[in-house]
Amino acid sequence: MKYRTIGSDPRTRRKVSVLSLGAMLFGSGTDEKTSFAILDRYVEAGGTFIDTANNYAFWVHGSRGGESEALLGRWRRSRGVGDEVTIATKLGGRPLTPSRTFSRDIEGLSARSIREAAEQSAQRLGTDRLDLLYAHAEDPSTPLAETVEAFAGLVAEGSVGLLGASNHRAWRVERARALASAAGLPGYEVLQYHHTYLRRRTDVPTLRSADGDLGVLSGDHLSYLREEPGLALVAYSPLLSGAYVRPDKPLDRELDHAGTAVRLAALREVCEETGATANQVVLAWLIGAEIPAVPLVGASSVAQLDESLAAVDLELTPDQRARLDAAH
């Protein structure tokens, strides 16, 4: 396994593995025995960065979520896992009532919601301190200053370490960080978005935004990250739910454009040269990119996880990386 440091403050920064394990369906879509086996294998391989959220996975059984955090808490206690494993969670996107569908009826990022949700997440995870806490979704109804101050208050109390934002417009991230900086408060240091080798259209309207998908890493985000190298990027759904390697998994409509075929051709070429799977080349490309990302991979079996773990040791040549980058 390889590692990198996220965060700048010596009191809160974390050394984490360059491959993160997503626990979204653990305890709901993936049964406990299988989930524990995947978690055990990940840690055995040197993995130290696990991701969840307080609303995972409400849509499976029609709940409000929390099943993933609760399972991770049981796993931590049964295995004696402590500070050596960083567990990141998110708040702000939990439905207010049990549901199977995504809607605008969510907890949001008010000071009260942040405090209550953070306390509940810590209880489910069985910890006194959340290693990394994300704002999961934008909340235009709450002043940014209120959100910034609420997150900073948890850090000051020692109940939260690092702060992050997921599924936010670049300008909202920058405005929140500017507010924190001006007030001498800790701000977002980790950003999490959907990011992969294929380029997804970002202008297609969604339920939450007529301006396009808030969760997709855009050119604005990349430009911002290039100017702020201290920020860490976590890339969720990098393997497109298996679409790179499974003919029965069609690509989403947001990937239906001329550039996709060109990049897939470059990807196949590098796969043939390396003998690696498309999944492994994509993960290696993300880890070693000019703006490096920590890929966040899901797995429903130990075999799936092992394929992803092998990507950590895949070294793309400068020529291979240049060809992958140049494909449009």
pLDDT in tens, 158-198: 999 999 999 999 999 999 999 999 999 999 999 999 999 99
Mean per-residue pLDDT, 303-328: 98
Residue 267 inside a domain? The answer is: no
Residue 62 inside a domain? The answer is: yes
pLDDT for position 120? 98
Prediction pTM value: 0.97
Q: What residues contact 60, with CB distance under 8 A and at least 6 apart? A: 25, 28, 29, 67
pLDDT in tens, 255-274: 999 999 999 999 999 999 99
pLDDT in tens, 33-57: 999 999 999 999 999 999 999 999 9
pLDDT for position 207? 65
Give me the domain span that covers residue 205: 3-254+278-318
Mean per-residue pLDDT, 99-126: 95
Measured between alpha carbons, how far is residue 34 from residues 30, 173, 300, 303 in Å?
Answer: 7, 36, 7, 11
Residue 56 to residue 54: CA distance in whole angstroms: 6
Residue 169 inside a domain? The answer is: yes
Query: What CATH number should be reported for the domain holding residue 227?
Result: 3.20.20.100
Q: What residues contact 157, with CB distance under 8 A and at least 6 apart? A: none
Q: What is the mean pLDDT of the chain?
A: 96
pLDDT for position 214? 84
> What ranges in 161-257 are assigned the alpha helix state H?
170-182, 219-227
What is the percentage of the chain residues whose pLDDT exceeds 70? 99
Residue 143 to residue 148: CA distance in whole angstroms: 9
Confidence label for 213 from pLDDT (cuts 50, 70 and 90): confident
Residue 270 inside a domain? The answer is: no
pLDDT for position 205? 76
One-character DSSP codes across 48-104: -EEE--TTTTHHHHTS-S-HHHHHHHHHHHHHT--TTSEEEEEES--BSS--SS--S
Residue 212 inside a domain? The answer is: yes
Residue 262 inside a domain? The answer is: no
> What ranges in 158-277 are assigned the alpha helix state H?
170-182, 219-227, 258-274
Residue 86 inside a domain? The answer is: yes
Residue 328 inside a domain? The answer is: no
Number of independent structural domains in the chain: 1
What is the percentage of the chain residues whose pLDDT exceeds 90? 94
Bridge partners of residue 17, in order along the sequence: 3
Mean per-residue pLDDT, 209-219: 84
